[in-house]
Chain A
Amino acid sequence: MSLTKVSLIDIVKKQYVYKLKAYSQVFISLIFIQLLAVFFSLNGVGGGGISSGSIQINVSYFSADFVVAFTMLWGFITAIVITTKTYRIDDFIFVTNRASSNLSNMVFLLIASVIGGITAMLSTNLIKVIVYYFKSDFALKSTTVMDMPMEFLIGIFSTILYVFLFCALGYLVGTLVQISKVFAVLLPAAFLGGLIFDGLSGKTGVIAKVLGFYFTESSLALFIVKIIMTAGLLFIGAFALSNRREVRT
């Protein structure tokens, strides 16, 4: 029987299609998380009130911020989940090597980020509808897509990038944890420790600086470069770490 020759790209494509089907639970969890976030958003993300005589005005801001944050968290967790043994073994039932397995995971996470990002931004509309119907004493002043189409598109685009960044971070974290369970304790401890230390010292600490670096960038081009470079580095790190890993069942 003659040997079949396969190309990496071809196998990555096939694995990606396979993963979309096999990992469908991931998208069910996305729906749950976003609905939960919508529920939390219904009280408004901020607001204030003034009263003058018998007139009282309450202002509440509704936005998809919660949903976006939750979606980022979802991306982070999803990425960790697909690095676990159960999911890694799924790859090796059929044709694969570590490169194709990692690349198809990356493509999968990218597509998951796109879906997560778009649905997160569209959930604004869901929030508006719910508020409109269930909080009828409100006068709704809303910005629609058509008012500012560019801003809306940029919003979607940057949400996708943020979710993808968190996916990349989760993927590296997951890979580290797979290599040694020590990281499962070490990484959260370092993160929380950093937060507490920052809080105690009262200065802008490392974590705050890192967050500022990504979340307060005003130039769109620079923002894209920052995110893509970072996500790329995180993935390269994960690829390098997992390339010699054995598959043990």
Chain B
Amino acid sequence: MIINLDGTKPIYVQISEWLENEILNGNVESDQKIYSQYQLAEIYNINPATAAKGLNILVDEQILYKKRGLGMFVTSNAKEMILTKRKNQTLKRLVQEIVIEAARLQVSKEELIEMINAADIGEVEK
């Protein structure tokens, strides 16, 4: 994922999403050290405080944990946590938006479900 720094989504949110993707993709394994705020600042040309804010979101969600003086590490079940979170939050919100848009376009529930069934799942599983 390339961070869209011009976007209207706060950068620290984008940073935490990018870190989650790194974990999901297996680029950073469980109990491995994750990027420091300074490395993130350097990589994305952003203020280290902004990067720290992105990291802290994940600490609050216990996807990362702090070791005093050593930095931040990936929790052992981080992947599952991210997946559950995304299911519960991101996917839910997306579904909500689909439903709103469907209502606006006067698409019935059945029609919508049909559309979901018809959507090519193969792409996603790859």
Is A–B contact present in the complex under a CB 8 A cutoff? no
Interface residue ranges, B against A (CB under 8 Å)? none
Interface residue ranges, A against B (CB under 8 Å)? none
